[in-house]
């Protein structure tokens, strides 16, 4: 890779295989061999991948992971300004998708540095297409919060989400997360646990969230991607009395009125002002 006509370098985001080295593209092999600077989430895993691909690495390799991302991004921007190209690669999938990369891309865009990508494997879309759940509309929610209270609040906010949802989760937190999802979305909500995607012991387990939570309680290993069906379509409320009653029901369980109004408005596809007016008129 070489610099651009304006003297700046180019930022290249390279997708790494999510399980099998032979899923790497020819373009990835060539880019690794030609790179000037490689910013890797784990330098040891990068060299192992290069060895598996029989690709010699002549680039300067630097670490680029969550804890040093902010400081390293500033350093890499200086290299790009100086006309040197930088290739970013994470342990698996595309940089920036629940992996380091976003800060560097944002800084590069602000500096007018060209940013491009080598597309390739992604756990998000791989899990989605094998899940058996609708793929026409979906959203990626990353890792749920680790703390139970924060996780419960995040999932409650997603309870009415109509699109298929994709999450990442650590195996030791899977059972607790599935139980929290069953509580927030309903035990009958369809889902799929995708474990060790593309690897030798790949497993796709499909079923209602309640059943999957029971299965995961026995312990699960490996890389996990969760796919959860969206909320089923239900006729929305429209009458002021019904809207006010829905808000009152939430308030009775401890939800603050402002939050209850926002939730009822979202679930029924209405502006918050409409629900607020219904509550005020009902109180009067």
CATH of the domain at 202: 3.30.950.10
Same domain as 80, residue 130: no
Closest CA to 124 of 178, 168, 66: 168
Q: Are strands 11-14 and 86-89 parallel, antiparallel or unpaired?
A: parallel
Q: 3-state SS string over 165-181?
A: EEEEECHHHHHHHHHHH
Residue ending a domain, among 68, 89, 121, is 121
The answer to whether position 21 is within a domain reads yes
Residue ending a domain, among 121, 147, 181, is 121
pLDDT at 283: 62
The answer to whether position 1 is within a domain reads no
Give the pLDDT of the chain (284 residues) as one tens digit per residue.
455 666 789 999 999 999 999 999 999 999 999 999 999 999 999 999 999 999 999 999 999 998 998 899 999 999 999 999 999 999 999 999 988 899 999 999 999 999 999 999 999 999 999 999 999 999 999 999 999 999 999 999 998 899 999 999 999 999 999 999 999 999 999 999 999 999 999 999 999 999 999 999 999 999 999 999 998 876 677 788 889 999 999 999 999 999 999 988 888 877 888 899 999 987 65
CATH of the domain at 62: 3.40.1010.10
Same domain as 22, residue 101: yes
Same domain as 246, residue 165: no
Separation CA 41–CA 50 (nearest Å): 14
The answer to whether position 233 is within a domain reads no
> What does residue 67 show for φ and ψ, rounded to 5 degrees?
-70, -25
The answer to whether position 38 is within a domain reads yes
Same domain as 216, residue 247: no
pLDDT at 234: 67
Separation CA 12–CA 4 (nearest Å): 13
Structural domain span for residue 267 = 240-283
Separation CA 243–CA 227 (nearest Å): 31
Residues 59, 87 contacting (CB under 8 angstroms): yes
Tokens of 279: 């509550």
Tokens of 93: 């999938």
Closest CA to 29 of 19, 37, 17: 17
Q: In a 3-state reduction of DSSP, which class is residue 238?
A: coil
């Amino acid at each position: 890779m070489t610099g651009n006509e304006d003297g700046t370098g180019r930022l290249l985001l390279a997708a790494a295989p999510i399980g099998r080295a032979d899923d790497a593209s020819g373009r990835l092999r060539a880019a690794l061999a030609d790179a000037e600077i490689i910013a890797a989430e784990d330098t040891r895993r990068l060299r192992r991948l290069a060895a598996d691909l029989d690709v010699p690495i002549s680039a300067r390799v630097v670490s680029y992971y969550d804890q040093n991302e902010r400081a390293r991004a500033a350093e890499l921007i200086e290299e790009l300004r100086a006309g040197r190209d930088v290739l970013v690669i994470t342990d698996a999938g595309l940089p920036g998708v629940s992996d380091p990369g976003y800060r560097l891309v944002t800084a590069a865009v602000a500096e007018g540095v060209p940013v491009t990508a080598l597309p390739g494997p992604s756990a998000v879309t791989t899990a989605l297409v094998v899940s058996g759940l609708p793929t026409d509309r979906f959203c990626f929610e990353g890792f749920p919060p680790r703390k139970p209270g924060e996780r419960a609040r995040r999932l409650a906010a997603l309870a009415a989400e109509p699109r298929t949802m994709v999450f990442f989760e650590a195996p030791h937190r899977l059972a607790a997360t599935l139980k929290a999802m069953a509580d927030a979305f309903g035990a009958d909500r369809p889902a799929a646990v995708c474990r060790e995607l593309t690897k030798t012991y790949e497993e796709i387990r499909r079923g209602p969230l309640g059943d999957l939570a029971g299965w995961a309680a026995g312990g699960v290993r490996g890389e996990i991607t969760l796919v959860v069906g969206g909320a089923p379509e239900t006729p929305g409320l429209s009458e002021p009395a019904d809207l006010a009653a829905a808000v009152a029901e939430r308030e009775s369980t401890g939800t603050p009125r402002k939050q209850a109004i926002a939730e009822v408005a979202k679930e029924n596809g209405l502006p918050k002002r409409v629900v607020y007016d219904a509550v005020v008129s009902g109180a009067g």
